[in-house]
């Protein structure tokens, strides 16, 4: 009994069809971010379509409880392509890594633009504080305030505007400063105050420091000394008799 072998034309048609089939999928690269569409949600994973020949599965532990409660079919979000095919031929995706990469991109933009970001102080560590700005960042003790802070533990849990002064995505390092922003505010106030100060003018100030010979008054970005001999018509034994900080 004879068999019929496919003709060369048929083989070419099959090859062309296979090539056309492959071209219908996105040209994806591992280590990049792309948009995914939810096609199913199960008790332990979210199935995502990214336009590839197979669908990817993301473990539920990469989503917050609120996200899992609200996620539904056809929702779209960014995913990170870890492997187009693992040992079992599966498409491996990560939402967690995509979120982290997006945060790093935003932080680098803030750094390049010189803009601030709100950060929550989460712990006291050697040399300063650990801050949460989407990723963990280091706030050196010298960058917390214009003056030394005595009660560092009292800052834990508080949120402050901060400026990124150093960032290295590859090493995962971010250094932030609160002092830089305070200096910018102080310098701005100083310019305004100096432009309006006149001899004989009455102004209000805030006592910042008390010494044996007088009190230093913040006039708005600039300090003035009120000498003990100018505090009262009567005798003053010590400036602390007249003022409190």
- pLDDT digits 0-9 by tens, 217-229: 988 878 889 999 9
pLDDT in tens, 16-61: 655 554 554 556 788 889 999 999 999 999 999 998 888 898 999 9
Q: How confident is the model at residue 10 (pLDDT cuts 50, 70, 90)?
A: low
The pLDDT assigned to 167 comes to: 96
pTM over 0.85: no
Nearest-angstrom CA–CA distance, 217 and 225: 6
Interval 175-208: pLDDT, tens: 999 999 999 998 888 888 888 888 888 888 899 8
Bridge partner residues of 128 (DSSP) = 125, 140
Query: How high is the pLDDT of residue 202?
Result: 87
Distance CA 164, CA 176 (A): 4
Lowest mean pLDDT of 14-23, 88-97, 227-236, name the range: 14-23
Report which of residues 110 and 16 the model is more confident about.
110
Distance CA(184)–CA(146), nearest Å, equals 11
Residue pair 136/123 in contact by the 8 Å Cβ criterion:
no
Query: How confident is the model at residue 14, as a pLDDT?
Result: 66
Evaluate if residue 2 carries a pLDDT over 80. Answer: no
Counting Cα atoms < 13 Å in the Cβ hemisphere of 10 gives 4
Mean pLDDT rounded to a whole number for the chain: 87
Share of the chain above pLDDT 90, in %: 54
- Domains of the chain, start order: 9-98 (2.40.50.140), 115-182 (2.40.50.140), 199-241 (2.40.50.140)
Question: For residue 68, how many C-alpha atoms fall within 13 Å in the half-sphere facing its CB?
Answer: 13
Distance between CA atoms of residues 230 and 233, nearest Å: 8
Residue 11 has pLDDT above 60, yes or no: no
Over the stretch 76-91, which tens digit does the pLDDT of each residue have?
999 999 888 887 778 8
CB burial readout 215-230, b (16+ within 10 A) else e = bbbbbbebeeebebee
Tell me what the mean pLDDT of segment 80-103 comes to: 88
Distance (Å, rounded) from C-alpha 41 to C-alpha 46?
Answer: 5
Mean pLDDT to the nearest integer, 135-143:
96
pLDDT at 24: 47
Please give the average per-residue pLDDT across 10-15, as a whole number.
60
């Amino acid at each position: 009994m004879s068999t019929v072998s496919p003709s060369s034309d048929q083989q070419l048609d099959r090859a062309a069809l296979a090539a056309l089939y492959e071209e219908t999928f996105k040209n994806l690269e591992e280590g990049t971010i792309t948009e995914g569409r939810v096609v199913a949600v199960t008790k332990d994973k979210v199935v995502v379509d990214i336009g590839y020949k197979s669908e990817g599965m993301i473990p539920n532990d990469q989503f917050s409880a609120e996200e899992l409660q609200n996620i539904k079919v056809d929702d779209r979000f960014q995913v990170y392509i870890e492997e187009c095919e693992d040992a079992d031929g599966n498409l491996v995706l990560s939402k967690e890594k995509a979120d982290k990469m997006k945060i790093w991109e935003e932080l680098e933009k803030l750094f390049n633009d010189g803009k601030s970001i709100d950060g929550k102080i989460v712990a006291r560590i050697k040399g300063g504080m650990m801050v949460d700005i989407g990723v963990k960042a280091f706030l050196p003790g010298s960058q917390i305030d214009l003056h030394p802070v005595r009660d560092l533990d009292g800052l834990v849990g508080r949120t402050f505007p901060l400026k990124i002064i150093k960032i290295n995505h590859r090493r995962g390092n971010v250094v932030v400063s609160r002092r830089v922003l305070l200096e910018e505010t102080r310098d701005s106030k100083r310019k305004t105050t100096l432009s309006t100060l006149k001899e004989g003018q009455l102004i209000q100030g805030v006592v910042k420091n008390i010494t044996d010979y007088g009190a230093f008054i913040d006039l708005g970005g600039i300090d003035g000394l009120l000498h003990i001999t100018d505090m009262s018509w009567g005798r003053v034994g010590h400036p602390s008799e007249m003022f409190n900080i």
